[in-house]
Structure 1
């Protein structure tokens, strides 16, 4: 067999060489075919048959294929598995091609450049991000190519980039090559699910020129980002990458929006995770998160915007108040608010529709959705005239009715347009004279053909005569064999069947030509008219994008008002000071999940006498819920939502920090305690006096007194106005920490009330001043269903430990009375004893310890070691 490839395979290999990092979907008629190594990958991941192409001189080449009509689902699977897909189309009609059909790659689909509805989540943005370095600064930019949202920022600390990645959850990130070996970057990519591409990057002037050229502007001052040199490098790379992969103009990307991360409340990854803002910790689902409670939006645009607001609370008290006033305004006339929601529910996803217009992928059905959406907008504006808050009036004034486009689409499109733009039936009668003429002539011919059968039956006397049509022979007259003697002379035989003959007549062929010729012309003309409509819609992209943004804002505000009404939330008072007071506050998620009435609690925090609140009480009593509810109420207030409380006054918080629980991080080799200490370190190094800190246990991952000592020192540091002085809630089982309230100004003790009933306890979930006396851990273990044997053993051990008066040379009571002096002197009490050291004399015990110290391990055989262990065990038990 010759080593020469067929022309088609040469064409394939030439394209594959250019897109070697992609799986190449090669169009062959109604299928996309993949070859060689791509075929093996696709067959395995897509569960499709792996065959081979071994005709002619190509040899045995692995091959697999998928139908072009259903290709999106297969491409989506490959993207999910971490691959890029290059889509190669036939650039000419195969029937008109002279020789080999011209083919070319029309688009490269990557995780960050998906625009297909069926491949995108409705209520979540799909971001392509980039990170580049210029001097001492890091540039960060991100684009949602499906909506045209394009933003850029610049920071001096890489840790901030990590927070932005956690906030946005991009599906793909482009990084500068020199970043890949940085330890900070390696920390980011662990346990995160996004695809990474590397690039050399642009020089400053090159980046500036590229951005200006893309947006056709003379100066970057038009966007206010001219000083962001590193940010522009990141933005330029996104533009370059998008052009390279999409291979067409991206007209729906209208601006580059610079932002400062410090203009919003900073939320690090731990805080987002621990507060379960958009997904739960365990199941990674929206259900059970704050988002699930607040998301009563009726439109995908609104749901995506709500997610952004939750992840980016405001700091500007005036802007926060404006949102609150709008929510209150909507609550004031809930009948009209409900009508607004019903109207918004009928508006399609305009953000993603405008990207389809830009890509020329919008179909007639989508265009019909655009038309119906535009028809609803005037009614929305009429209803908005009933509300007078400045925020709502701003929304109303910026909604564009696009009257000309709406009127054009209404006149042009049929009531229910088809999906395909090339099969006709999408343009209304009366819109185009030439189209009406063609349809009229086609109708006349069809009517003549429809009347031919009864006429010929009457003329020939053949009652069974039929007029039919097929794609091979066209229209025909069919006569059964029993009536062949009645066939007129002007019938020309066309086809012989087993029981009949098929004929044609000149008039029938003439009308057939009129029908089929008109149909082809009609379909071609309708497609041309549709393309003109698409161009007209493209002229309105900026207006469409801005209107989509306003409708999304309105949807979120209506969602807030509905949630407030249904859940009995109050409007919080917002101040630019340090006081936080919450009357009968509730946890927004927990109260929806429990079957009993949620027990509300009060909170008062400031930077003076109520700066550091220590909460003690048993497990399962509600300490963690209380901590989180305070943080969530503050966050909800600062995104513009009403809050679950009877009343609330919120002094604006610049950051919320949380340290809640801990677990081993096996991917980085960090123990529970190390993870905990890293989180604490982040807090003490980055918190300001305007922050809110939530600590749910500190120091529990090490020995009791190590942990207590660390918790004591951290508490003093955070409470100190000279060090941090942030408003802090600290839940702990270290009752010794309550001693801080004696000598430290700003520290207050709170505890969760518990009612003891004989041998059982009842949690009251009520937070009151004071400290808890007991932990009730064994009682909680009993409630959890531990076997009674374990419970009894634990109770016996607790009794023994409580009877011990000394740990080394100083009692715990002495430690509590002199805690500060002990810690400052470096003293820590000894380890708790789980075995009765009084079974032998103290001297005997010391001798055993000394003997163990003197053992020469290197010169001890295994047998000697066992004998020594047995002897020591007997002596320790008092049996020597």
Structure 2
């Protein structure tokens, strides 16, 4: 490439590309965005478009691929969806007036974390995360460029950073410091994140609050710098950065949220079957996002929880008013994202009409809220700003039939601008004037077929055939000569044509200018629009929770400071709806002040996991402010939920099921307080029996003696049930079964005390394993149980000094045939203490022969 002569256009491309080495550069050339060199080769493969070349006859033709500019967005979406950046270079001057190469500049860089214009509309947030460090702590800031939301916090360790990024479902992380290579690998390889770098800071006194720490200010300013550098425009919709603390919300790791199916079903990755699916009766995109946010971050402040409960209660008590409210919300568009489109300079007439229609609906929403006549709603009512002057501006300015295009006219309402109305009058009446002139000249000249035509080259003209040329009046002047006719003009026709052409060109240009002026006026309302959006979203989520509570007969939970859990006939809210209310068997859950651990025994498939998840879901729903699935509920306010439910290898990071189990157990043990909730399902089963049992017992003892968190521990190790004799705050519960004529029925009902036996072989029977295999398993089980392992509890003063003792050192017999018995008898007959070395060798030889 170095030896070949580069054209000025390609040199311009290379100069621009040099500044964007990590992005696909879409280079505007006429009606296409072109890609060259490596970009073209890769894009052709990803987008399935043709790969051609520029300078085909050169020694090294330049690879080239292109997409039409009017449909470019769908191609951009695909590239960004796959984790790439796309830089858009536009023509910055009219090619007709350009001297030399048309000037081009990158006007925007679209990245996975800054998408605002996708052709696939999705109401979920798209958070861009930034990280910084002072060598000891991490600063984390995140922003949704499409809504302007902006937050920052400080974190002490990388595990929490990782969990927060996962919880935010971020796709791109901006690094303001040099991350350790191992940590970088975690983000790129395991979490599939695009990493970008930003060392500069964008200082903005309006957005950065001085109450933030220095580290938080640094990371927020680096995030701002990155967004300004990629979006290349003033972003008036960005909101003031808010400080938050993870401890201000119910803490849950990404794994916990996933195992509880909060925002999506963990098995299908779909909304169906998740808590979000159950609670979503929202009517607006803003409400949908806020509901996700509430589920993701339940409250720990009892006062705020009760505020939400009070409003839900008001909505439940006023069925008709609530129905009207739900209906009124249906006409509300996504105000937050409309405001950001205005800020980005991308709002079109249709966007403003949507905003206008929404604002026309707001006084009705406010009036309905006032009609409830409840003081609990006063705060919400006061937050709803009707913005009548903005609604009036849009209604009077934008034509209700306006299309999305802003350069072709017909977007401004008649009556809004006098000059524009005059132009329209000329255009409207000009056709009548031309018809009048045509009739007048036809009569005066006597040319019966005289008519006026129009084309771009000659404008308006009289069309006269050769046979009528002798009748042409003197005041006609020739415009063009054709084979069988002539084209003529007149001063009168030229005057009207001038007025009409001016009106046509000027009106489109004037409409564009008026629209830009209106958009600038709308921009001044962005902060008020964002406040309105938050208020309407809150109303929407609370009415949604009221509808769900009513439809499913939920109750309002109460809270206590005695650290007691009392749930009467509780249900797993999601399972109940999926299964059907008639089939669901409710369970009561009780922990008094003196109980910190429930040890749950019982067979697989009997409902242990559902019982545990039922408690977690009830807690989460209660701390969102929602009503819950039960007859009566009284709970403490929890600060965190830790779970280990379900076994899965973490193949990406190369960790076995057991390693994942131990890491999650470690998180709980290190971070839980007595105000936390711990749910451990089958902990310890991923290793050898005694290993697992020893770990399970020592973990139970440690939680019991040191943490005292409310804990559910489901296990197959029946031996652990003896712990209730030594651990005063542990109680045994089990899943009840009904055994009749050798057949077992799981009742899905939790009963007091330990399970009397395991039912693994019965579950295998349900799965359809062969009868002979099941009979053999039964035989082996009887043999194993006859040589049962005795588990002893360690001294409680040293809870971690856990020992597992075996009654006698022996190999448990797995074989029942005659040869095995003969060998066992021969072994028993050996007088070990009186054997000489030679006799011992001979005895081993004989035993080997027998085998």
Query: Quick check: TM above 0.5?
Result: yes
Q: Map Cα deviations across residues 522-546 of structure 1 (whole Å, 9 max, x no partner).
A: 0111111111101111111111111
SS in 2 for 1:11: helix
Count of aligned pairs between the two proteins: 829
The verdict on how the C-alpha distance between 1:690 and 1:474 changes in structure 2, with shifts beyond 3 A counting, is same
What is aligned with 2:378? 393
What is aligned with 1:859? none
In the alignment, structure 1 residue 698 sits paired with structure 2 residue 695: no
Aligned partner of 1:841 among 823, 827, 830:
823
In the alignment, structure 1 residue 602 sits paired with structure 2 residue 588: yes
State how far apart, in whole Å, the 1-side matches of 2:100 and 2:321 are: 65
Q: Is the 8 A contact 2:697 2:802 kept in 1?
A: no
Q: Map Cα deviations across residues 592-637 of structure 1 (whole Å, 9 max, x no partner).
A: 11145211110112441x3211222221111111110110010010
Q: Is the 8 A contact 1:700 1:707 kept in 2?
A: yes
What is aligned with 2:79? 78
Aligned partner of 1:785 among 754, 757, 768:
768
What is aligned with 1:735? 718
1:19 positional shift: 1.4
Q: Map Cα deviations across residues 627-683 of structure 1 (whole Å, 9 max, x no partner).
A: 101100100100111111111112100001110122222222222211111111111
**463-472 vs 671-680, which deviates more?**
463-472
Q: Structure 2: which 5+ runs fail to align?
A: 833-842
State how far apart, in whole Å, the 1-side matches of 2:605 and 2:630 are: 22
State how far apart, in whole Å, the 1-side matches of 2:593 and 2:701 are: 14
State how far apart, in whole Å, the 1-side matches of 2:587 and 2:545 are: 23
In the alignment, structure 1 residue 775 sits paired with structure 2 residue 761: no
The verdict on how the C-alpha distance between 1:751 and 1:514 changes in structure 2, with shifts beyond 3 A counting, is same
The verdict on how the C-alpha distance between 1:22 and 1:770 changes in structure 2, with shifts beyond 3 A counting, is same
SS in 2 for 1:840: helix
Q: Is the 8 A contact 1:323 1:391 kept in 2?
A: no
What is aligned with 1:215? 205
1:817 positional shift: 9.7
State how far apart, in whole Å, the 1-side matches of 2:512 and 2:637 are: 57
The verdict on how the C-alpha distance between 1:320 and 1:434 changes in structure 2, with shifts beyond 3 A counting, is same
1:846 positional shift: 9.1
1:169 positional shift: 1.1
1:419 positional shift: 0.5
State how far apart, in whole Å, the 2-side matches of 1:597 and 1:639 are: 27
SS in 1 for 2:408: coil
The verdict on how the C-alpha distance between 1:619 and 1:523 changes in structure 2, with shifts beyond 3 A counting, is same
| C-alpha RMSD over aligned residues | 3.1
1:130 positional shift: 0.9
**542-551 vs 380-389, which deviates more?**
380-389
Q: Is the 8 A contact 1:322 1:390 kept in 2?
A: no
**269-278 vs 465-474, which deviates more?**
465-474
In the alignment, structure 1 residue 116 sits paired with structure 2 residue 100: no
The verdict on how the C-alpha distance between 1:190 and 1:56 changes in structure 2, with shifts beyond 3 A counting, is closer
The verdict on how the C-alpha distance between 1:115 and 1:125 changes in structure 2, with shifts beyond 3 A counting, is same
State how far apart, in whole Å, the 2-side matches of 1:872 and 1:470 are: 113
Q: Map Cα deviations across residues 440-488 of structure 1 (whole Å, 9 max, x no partner).
A: 122121223456777788888999877655545545666899x878985
1:502 positional shift: 7.6
1:273 positional shift: 1.1
Q: Is the 8 A contact 1:294 1:560 kept in 2?
A: yes
Aligned partner of 1:827 among 788, 794, 805:
805
In the alignment, structure 1 residue 154 sits paired with structure 2 residue 165: no
Q: Is the 8 A contact 1:36 1:63 kept in 2?
A: yes
What is aligned with 1:291? 276
Q: Map Cα deviations across residues 2-21 of structure 1 (whole Å, 9 max, x no partner).
A: 83322211211111112122
State how far apart, in whole Å, the 2-side matches of 1:444 and 1:805 are: 103
In the alignment, structure 1 residue 355 sits paired with structure 2 residue 340: yes
Superposed, which structure 2 residues align to 1:292-307 within 5 Å? 292-307=277-292
State how far apart, in whole Å, the 2-side matches of 1:836 and 1:462 are: 122
1:253 positional shift: 1.1
What is aligned with 1:752? 735
What is aligned with 1:856? none
In the alignment, structure 1 residue 378 sits paired with structure 2 residue 358: no
SS in 1 for 2:153: strand
What is aligned with 1:762? 745
Q: Map Cα deviations across residues 257-305 of structure 1 (whole Å, 9 max, x no partner).
A: 1111111111112211110111121221111111111111111111111
What TM-score, normalized by structure 1, do the two folds share?
0.88
What is aligned with 1:803? 783
Q: Map Cα deviations across residues 160-195 of structure 1 (whole Å, 9 max, x no partner).
A: 2122112211121012442142x4554454432321
Q: Is the 8 A contact 1:438 1:518 kept in 2?
A: yes
State how far apart, in whole Å, the 2-side matches of 1:8 and 1:424 are: 34
What TM-score, normalized by structure 2, do the two folds share?
0.91
1:390 positional shift: 5.6
State how far apart, in whole Å, the 2-side matches of 1:581 and 1:487 are: 106
SS in 2 for 1:33: strand
Q: Map Cα deviations across residues 698-738 of structure 1 (whole Å, 9 max, x no partner).
A: 11111222222221221121122xx1111011222222222
In the alignment, structure 1 residue 224 sits paired with structure 2 residue 178: no
What is aligned with 1:863? none
Q: Map Cα deviations across residues 22-72 of structure 1 (whole Å, 9 max, x no partner).
A: 111111112111111111111111111111111798962111111111111
What is aligned with 1:325? 310
State how far apart, in whole Å, the 1-side matches of 2:449 and 2:614 are: 82
In the alignment, structure 1 residue 128 sits paired with structure 2 residue 128: yes
1:397 positional shift: 0.8
